[in-house]
């Protein structure tokens, strides 16, 4: 657990890095920087004051960014637009450790977006990661000679990917925060959809292939499936991945017509509406469950571990999230000897099924 002094120092360092990155890339005007003379205590307020400017940054740099500093600024703008604030996220990661049996699910349940759709947040975080990748590539978990700027890119990349995992699970469920108290039927159906896409079968739900659907704002055609669980019907989109010779589950949120991604309804009430891909821009690649859950959890952890010397407690907690998913799926109890592990889709499916099982919850929390 991160103690208060270390947590405060960590947050101050993060805001300092963010502030300096904006200075380098020109987001702050001269008057703002000249008047900011009260140290780190003013940086949080200054960051909040400039949250409204993220769209101006995006409008100024999207499609025109060409330097690492501009990529970094653009990534941070998308992270701000997603609703991610570093102080709140670190506090929530810290607080998740108070849940002895399920820190990861406690974290996921605590970060459900309230002011924005999950889809917008997932899409924005995905963009942030893409821009951090332009700076750092895959060197976060491999290169031990990173500059401080590159370490900062690893930290933000890791935080964005960790939040992307949480928001994706929130979009796939009714309310993860209540999983310990009651079964989340939508999460169970989503787990079945992932399993069906992964290996073509499921033991907990029945699945019907509905047919193909195309959206005007996407260049892909999807296979739609209906998943039936406990008398309820849930619809999902799958897409063939030729390189892997398998279908992948597309991350969706809400329902929309085939003509407009951006006009979404939260629940299915119209026969002309379909599960809506989380990606909201025309012709952008769709976000898959494998990318948003498996890749993001593995790579996000490695990215934060790359700066572990500066953020030991944060790195250990995020590493514990990954250990929890992999070890619980293996034998139903936490294995503290698993210090290095890589999760796969089967790990995630088994973990979600186990955590969403009423008997397991009763045994662990009563």
What was the pLDDT predicted at 18?
Answer: 46
Decide if 360 is inside a domain.
no
Higher confidence at residue 248 or residue 269?
248
Note whether 48 and 163 are same-domain residues.
yes
Note whether 172 and 111 are same-domain residues.
yes
Number of domains in the chain: 2
Task: Identify which of 290, 289, 286, 311 has the alpha carbon closest to the alpha carbon of residue 301.
Answer: 311
190-196 average pLDDT score: 96
Q: Where residue 108 falls among pLDDT bands split at 50, 70, 90? A: very high
The mean pLDDT value of the chain amounts to 79
Final residue belonging to a domain, choices 285, 313, 345:
285
Decide if 75 is inside a domain.
yes
Read off the pLDDT of residues 6-49 as tens digits, 9 standing for 90 and up: 445 554 555 444 444 433 333 323 233 333 333 333 333 444 44
Note whether 200 and 303 are same-domain residues.
no
Decide if 254 is inside a domain.
yes
Note whether 271 and 149 are same-domain residues.
no
Note whether 170 and 95 are same-domain residues.
yes
Decide if 334 is inside a domain.
no
Task: Identify which of 257, 247, 255 has the alpha carbon closest to the alpha carbon of residue 278.
Answer: 255
Reading the block at residue 254, the tokens are 């809400």
Residue in the block written with tokens 């001269």: 30
Note whether 278 and 298 are same-domain residues.
no
Note whether 172 and 197 are same-domain residues.
no
Read off the pLDDT of residues 172-181 as tens digits, 9 standing for 90 and up: 999 988 887 8
b vs e for 257-278, b when ≥16 Cβ sit within 10 Å of the residue's Cβ?
Answer: beeebeebeeeeeeeebbbbbb
Decide if 132 is inside a domain.
yes
pTM score of the predicted model: 0.82
Note whether 170 and 251 are same-domain residues.
no
93-107 average pLDDT score: 84
Note whether 193 and 297 are same-domain residues.
no
Note whether 98 and 12 are same-domain residues.
yes
Distances, alpha carbon 309 to alpha carbons 91, 227, 306, 317, in Å: 19, 45, 8, 14
What was the pLDDT predicted at 135?
Answer: 96
Distances, alpha carbon 225 to alpha carbons 119, 200, 222, 303, in Å: 20, 12, 10, 35
Note whether 152 and 193 are same-domain residues.
no
Residue 304 is part of which domain span?
A: 4-177+291-323
């Amino acid at each position: 657990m991160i103690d208060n002094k270390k947590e405060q120092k960590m947050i101050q360092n993060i805001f300092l890095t963010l502030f300096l990155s904006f200075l380098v890339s020109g987001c702050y005007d001269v008057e703002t920087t000249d008047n900011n003379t009260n140290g780190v205590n003013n940086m949080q307020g200054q960051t909040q004051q400039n949250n409204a400017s993220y769209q101006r940054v995006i409008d100024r740099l999207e499609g025109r960014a060409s330097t690492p500093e501009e990529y970094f600024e653009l990534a941070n703008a998308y992270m701000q637009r997603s609703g991610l604030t570093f102080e709140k996220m670190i506090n929530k990661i810290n607080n998740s450790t108070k849940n002895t049996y399920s820190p990861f699910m406690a974290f996921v349940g605590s970060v459900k977006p309230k002011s924005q759709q999950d889809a917008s947040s997932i899409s924005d975080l995905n963009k942030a990661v893409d821009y951090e990748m332009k700076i750092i590539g895959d060197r976060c978990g491999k290169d031990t000679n990173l500059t401080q700027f590159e370490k900062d890119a690893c930290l933000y990349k890791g935080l964005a990917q960790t939040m992307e995992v949480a928001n994706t699970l929130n979009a796939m469920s009714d309310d993860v925060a209540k999983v310990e108290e009651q079964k989340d039927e939508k999460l169970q159906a989503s787990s079945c959809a992932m399993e069906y896409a992964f290996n073509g079968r499921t033991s907990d739900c029945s699945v019907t292939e509905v047919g193909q659907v195309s959206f005007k704002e996407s260049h892909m055609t999807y296979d739609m499936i209906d998943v039936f669980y406990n008398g309820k019907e849930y619809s999902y989109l799958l897409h063939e991945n030729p390189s892997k010779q398998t279908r992948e589950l597309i991350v969706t949120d809400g329902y929309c017509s085939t003509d407009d991604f951006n006009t979404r309804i939260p629940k299915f009430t119209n026969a002309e509406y379909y599960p809506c891909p989380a990606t909201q821009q025309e012709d952008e690649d769709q976000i898959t469950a494998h990318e948003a859950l498996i890749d993001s959890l593995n790579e996000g952890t490695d990215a934060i571990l790359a700066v572990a010397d500066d953020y030991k407690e944060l790195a250990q907690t995020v590493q514990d999230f990954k250990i929890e998913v992999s070890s619980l799926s293996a034998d139903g109890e936490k294995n503290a000897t698993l210090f290095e592990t890589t999760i796969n889709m089967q790990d995630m499916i088994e973990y979600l099924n186990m955590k969403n099982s009423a008997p397991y919850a009763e045994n662990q929390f009563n």
